[in-house]
Amino acid sequence: MVDERAQASGDDGLDGLETPCLILDADRLKANVDGMRRRLDKLGVALRPHLKTAKSLPVARMAMSRPDGPATVSTLREAEYFAEGGVRDMIYAVGIAPQKLDRVGAIRRRCTADLAIVLDSRAQAEAVALWSRRAGDALPVLIEVDADGHRSGVDPRDAEQLRAIGDALAEGAELRGVLLHAGDSYGLSDPVALRAAAEAERSAAVAAASILRDAGLPCPTVSIGSTPTARYAAHLEGITEVRAGVFMIGDLFQAGVGSCAVEEIALTVLTTVIGHQHQKGWIITDAGWMALSRDRGTARQAIDQGYGIVCDRAGRPLEDLIVRDANQEHGILALRAGASAALPDLPIGTRLRILPNHACATGAQHDRYHVVAEGRHKGEIWPRINGW
């Protein structure tokens, strides 16, 4: 239970923090993880959480089903960090460059980690098989398949290319399965369209897996992953795992998609009021785009949230108040265009919290989470990492 009297009196532990800084609500985080796990359990598939948003070992331990995994990462820096923290079962879910194979091998060897890689071309497969033969380490590989023309991957109907990649990998590496990411789902908001995207993702994965199996090639893993499709999938027949990630923290972009509610977002930036421009209707804070990021993804959605929604120190949104603009170290708070609410009286020194547009981008501006539980920060700090 949140103690609102303690927050109002400043006993929530936030006054001792230098601003701007990153606040993580552990209660919301846990509720989000538990909710996704219940949903996927009901659908009969495993959760392989994507850790690219969190980039923190304590968060990973809350999200994973075991201390050693499974997990998904988006950089080799993440793979190193989590492997050093005891995570052993990982997929590096970005197409591999041959120059990175020595580093992949070093992580596998030094940390005895089962680190799998991803590719979508015969040229990559041949390079991986050659490296595997020379190193005496059969690298586990998933073939990336393209469900929606979003970015990378093999057409799931292209049997010739899928078989060619599988045959090339058989010369030294280990074909472990197929992997998809329905990236176009992030541009949707209608539940019917999101359910259709989820089914298109599922059917593309199953089709590609069937082609490999019919060719006598192994395909034990059929891995899909995006928070919107994980939320809206009607069934996941033929799928073995889901790699959703941002669901555990949430952000305003995901709220605009319909993947989470604003009150479920676990991440905020703590900031302090440092000035006013009364004639312009502005309130100035010390959290600019260096603290919030320059992500303006909600500008393309039905509701433009500026650089973020402004909340009181308890994390409750203030009516119609957003970060209208941002400079490097200054946030400019103002009412939405056409708002009927009055500009709140926020004196110099007032502590506020900003809900971010994109949790990954905002998190990347910081090296730690200041953890809040039951409405209080009791000094707990969780480190997070950046870099590649």
Q: What is the pLDDT of residue 333?
A: 98
Looking at residue 299, the DSSP 8-state letter turns out to be G
**Residues 6+ positions from 93 with CB-CB distance below 8 Å:** 50, 72, 73, 74, 118, 179, 181, 225, 243
Q: What is the pLDDT of residue 6?
A: 46
Instruction: Using pLDDT thresholds of 50, 70 and 90, give the confidence band for residue 149.
Output: confident
- Residue where the block lists tokens 């676990």: 266
What's at 145, amino acid-wise? V
Whether residue 5 has pLDDT greater than 50: no
Are 78 and 55 in contact, with CB atoms under 8 Å apart?
yes
Q: From CA 143, how far away is CA 88, in angstroms rounded?
A: 21
- The mean pLDDT value for 168-188 works out to 94
Q: From CA 314, how far away is CA 312, in angstroms rounded?
A: 5
The CATH class that applies to domain 55-244 reads alpha beta
Are 310 and 333 in contact, with CB atoms under 8 Å apart?
yes
What average pLDDT does the chain have?
A: 96
Are 281 and 62 in contact, with CB atoms under 8 Å apart?
no
- Residue where the block lists tokens 């009364």: 278
Domain residues of the chain, as ranges?
55-244, 260-383
Give the Cβ contact number of residue 275 at 10 Å.
12
- The mean pLDDT value for 307-325 works out to 98
Q: From CA 205, how far away is CA 43, in angstroms rounded?
A: 16
Q: DSSP string covering 155-215, please? A: -TT-HHHHHHHHHHHTTTSEEEEEEE--GGGGG---HHHHHHHHHHHHHHHHHHHHHHHHT
- The mean pLDDT value for 148-154 works out to 88
- The mean pLDDT value for 293-305 works out to 96
Q: Nearest 5 degrees, angle CA 213-CA 216-CA 219?
A: 40
Q: From CA 306, how far away is CA 298, in angstroms rounded?
A: 7
Whether residue 228 has pLDDT greater than 90: yes
Give the CATH fold of the 260-383 domain. Answer: Lyase, Ornithine Decarboxylase; Chain A, domain 1 (2.40.37)
Whether residue 68 has pLDDT greater than 60: yes
Terminal CA-to-CA distance of the chain, rounded, Å? 39
The pair of structure tokens assigned to 366 is: 């910081």
**Residues 6+ positions from 343 with CB-CB distance below 8 Å:** 281, 283, 321, 334, 335
| Cis before 98? omega within 30 | no
Instruction: Using pLDDT thresholds of 50, 70 and 90, give the confidence band for residue 8.
Output: low
Helix (H) or strand (E) holding 315: none
> Lowest mean pLDDT: which of 51-55, 149-153, 222-226?
149-153
Q: From CA 269, how far away is CA 365, in angstroms rounded?
A: 10
Q: Which of 265, 270, 213, 217 is nearest to 238 (CA)?
A: 213
Q: What is the pLDDT of residue 20?
A: 98
Of the two residues 4 and 364, the one the predictor is more confident about is 364
> Lowest mean pLDDT: which of 112-116, 185-189, 275-279, 282-286?
185-189
Q: From CA 275, how far away is CA 347, in angstroms rounded?
A: 8
Instruction: Using pLDDT thresholds of 50, 70 and 90, give the confidence band for residue 189.
Output: very high
Tens of pLDDT, residue by residue over 237-295, are 999 999 999 999 999 999 999 999 999 999 999 999 999 999 999 999 999 999 999 99
Whether residue 21 has pLDDT greater than 50: yes
Whether residue 4 has pLDDT greater than 80: no
Q: What is the pLDDT of residue 24?
A: 98
